[in-house]
C-alpha cells in the first residue's frame, strides 16, 4: 500500500483545490504552457526546507526524486523556467495563499484559546547590490535599503495571523492604522506605533492596547494606584493619567485627550531607566500589564527563528517580484510546519520537527497506527503523573 512521503504530508495543510481556486481568480497561469503555479510553489517550498540556496541546487536536488513527483502533483523543473516564473508570475497569488493559511490558523486558535495577545511589529530585509539597487534605492530609510515585513502574531502559539510587505520608508504606524481591531482582544506593540488617535480607535472598538509612552509625552497624574511592592518588586508605579494638551506640539487634535489612561512603571533587570508602559486596561493587575508587554519579545524571537531557519536573507532572484514571492513562500512554509506540528503528537520543538523533515523529506511517513500508539503512550504518561485523588 502506498504511503505519503513527509513532504506530501506537509502539503496536506494546503489542499490543492483551494490553491487552484486562487490561481483561477488571479489568472496566474495565463499564457503558461507547462510550469504551473503549483509546480513553482512546490519547488520553492522544497528550497526552503532543503536549504537550497541556488536555482541549480533546487534543480539538481528536486529532480533527483522523480519517483515522488507524481504523488506531489508536479514534474521535473528547469532552473531557467523557475527563474522566469519568479520574475513574472504575480506575487499576489502567494500572498493570498499565505493569508488563507493565516486565517485557517487564526480560526483554530479562537476555538482552542479564545482570548490571547496580539503582537504587532516589523522586521527589515536588507537588499543592496546589483539588481537590487534599481528598485530599492528610492525607497530606503536611514536604517534599511530593501523591504520591510509587517506581522501580527498571536502570542503563545508563535503563529502569524496577518502579514504585509512594504518599502522600508513606510512607517509602522501607517500599517498599524489599517490593522483590523477585534473587540475584547489585547494588542501589544512598541513605540514605533505611537499615535494617540489610533490608540483611541482601539479603545472605542472595545479592545485593549499595551505599549510604551515616549519620553516627551505630556501627561498629568489623576490617581496613584501603586500597591505594596513586596509581592511584585518589578512594578515601580501604577498611575491613572490623562494627556495635558488637546493639540500636542500644536499639531492635530489628540482624540484621547480627556479620556483616562493607565501608566505603569516597570524596573529593568539591567539597571537601565524604567519602562513606561501605557494601556487602556484599567482593571488587570499591574504585574499582568508588565507581563503582557514582556510577551512582545515573542515576535522578536519569531523574526529571529524565521531568518535563522528559512531562506529570507539570500534570494533566488533580484527582482522585487521574486523577492516578495520567496518571502511569502517562507511564511507559507512556516505555517505548514505549524499546522503539521499542532496536528501531530510530537513533543519536540518546531525546530526539531524541521530538522527531522529536512533529514527525510522524501521518506515515507509513519503509519496512522504508529501515531496512535505514540498518543496512547503520552496519555498513559500524563495519567500516571496526575495520580488519583481520594473521594
CA–CA separation, 153 vs 297, rounded Å? 11
Whole-number pLDDT of residue 251: 77
Whole-number pLDDT of residue 227: 80
Sign of the CA dihedral with 208 first, then 212, 218, and 219 last? positive
Whole-number pLDDT of residue 111: 67
Whole-number pLDDT of residue 179: 93
3-state secondary structure 212-281: ECCCCCCEEEEEECCCCCCCCCCEEEEEEEEECCCCHHHCCCCCCCCCCEEEEEECCCCCCCCEEEEECC
Q: Which H helix or E strand runs over 64? A: none
**Within 10 A of 136 (CB to CB), how many other CB atoms are there?**
22
List the chain residues with pLDDT less than 50: 1, 391
CA–CA separation, 31 vs 52, rounded Å? 28
Residues 6+ apart with CB under 8 A from 312: 125, 149, 306, 326, 327, 330
Whole-number pLDDT of residue 366: 62
Whole-number pLDDT of residue 272: 84
Whole-number pLDDT of residue 190: 94
CB 275 within 8 A of CB 265: yes
276-304 burial, b if ≥16 CB within 10 A, otherwise e? Answer: bbbbbbeebebbebbbbbebbebbeebbe
CB 265 within 8 A of CB 287: no
End-to-end Cα distance, the chain: 50
The single-letter DSSP state of residue 192 is: G
- Partner residues linked to 150 by β-bridges: 122, 164
Cα–Cα–Cα angle for 206, 108, 356, rounded to 5 degrees: 135
CA–CA separation, 240 vs 247, rounded Å? 20
Whole-number pLDDT of residue 369: 60
C-alpha grid cell, residue 9: 504530508
CB 193 within 8 A of CB 211: yes
Q: Helices 92-112 and 16-26 meet at what angle, rounded to 10? A: 140
C-alpha grid cell, residue 111: 476555538
CA–CA separation, 237 vs 233, rounded Å? 10
CA–CA separation, 338 vs 327, rounded Å? 17
Whole-number pLDDT of residue 347: 67
CA–CA separation, 82 vs 49, rounded Å? 17
Amino acid at each position: 500500500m502506498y504511503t505519503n512521503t513527509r513532504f506530501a504530508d506537509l502539503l496536506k495543510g494546503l489542499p490543492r483545490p483551494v490553491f487552484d481556486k486562487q490561481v483561477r481568480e488571479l489568472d496566474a497561469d495565463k499564457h503558461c504552457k507547462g510550469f504551473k503555479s503549483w509546480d513553482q510553489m512546490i519547488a520553492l517550498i522544497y528550497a526552503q526546507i532543503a536549504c537550497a540556496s541556488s536555482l541549480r541546487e533546487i534543480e539538481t536536488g528536486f529532480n533527483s526524486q522523480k519517483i515522488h513527483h507524481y504523488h506531489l502533483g508536479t514534474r521535473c523543473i528547469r532552473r531557467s523556467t523557475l527563474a522566469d516564473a519568479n520574475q513574472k508570475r504575480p506575487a499576489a497569488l502567494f500572498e493570498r495563499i499565505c493569508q488563507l493559511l493565516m486565517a485557517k490558523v487564526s480560526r483554530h486558535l479562537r476555538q482552542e484559546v479564545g482570548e490571547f495577545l496580539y503582537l504587532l511589529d516589523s522586521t527589515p530585509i536588507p537588499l543592496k547590490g546589483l539588481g537590487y539597487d534599481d528598485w530599492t534605492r528610492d525607497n530606503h530609510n536611514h536604517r534599511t535599503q530593501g523591504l520591510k515585513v509587517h506581522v501580527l502574531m498571536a502570542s503563545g502559539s508563535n503563529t502569524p495571523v496577518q502579514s504585509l510587505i512594504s518599502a522600508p520608508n513606510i512607517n509602522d504606524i501607517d500599517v498599524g492604522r489599517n490593522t483590523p481591531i477585534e473587540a475584547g482582544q489585547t494588542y501589544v506593540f512598541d513605540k514605533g506605533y505611537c499615535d494617540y488617535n489610533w490608540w483611541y480607535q482601539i479603545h472605542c472598538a472595545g479592545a485593549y492596547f499595551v505599549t510604551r509612552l515616549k519620553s516627551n509625552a505630556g501627561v498629568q497624574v489623576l490617581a496613584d494606584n501603586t500597591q505594596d511592592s513586596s509581592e511584585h518588586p518589578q512594578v515601580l508605579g501604577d498611575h491613572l493619567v490623562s494627556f495635558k494638551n488637546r493639540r500636542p506640539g500644536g499639531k492635530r487634535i489628540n482624540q484621547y485627550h480627556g479620556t483616562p489612561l493607565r501608566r505603569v512603571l516597570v524596573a529593568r533587570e539591567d539597571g537601565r531607566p524604567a519602562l513606561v508602559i501605557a494601556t487602556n486596561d484599567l482593571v488587570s493587575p499591574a504585574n499582568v500589564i508588565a507581563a503582557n508587554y514582556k510577551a512582545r519579545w515573542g515576535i522578536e524571537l519569531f523574526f529571529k527563528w524565521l531568518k535563522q531557519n528559512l531562506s529570507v536573507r539570500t534570494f533566488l532572484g533580484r527582482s522585487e517580484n521574486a523577492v516578495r514571492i520567496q518571502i511569502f513562500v517562507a511564511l507559507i512554509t512556516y505555517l505548514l510546519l505549524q499546522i503539521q506540528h499542532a496536528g501531530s503528537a510530537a513533543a519536540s520543538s518546531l525546530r526539531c520537527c524541521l530538522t527531522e523533515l529536512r533529514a527525510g523529506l522524501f521518506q515515507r511517513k509513519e503509519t496512522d497506527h504508529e501515531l496512535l500508539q505514540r498518543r496512547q503512550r503520552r496519555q498513559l504518561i500524563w495519567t500516571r503523573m496526575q495520580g488519583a485523588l481520594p473521594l
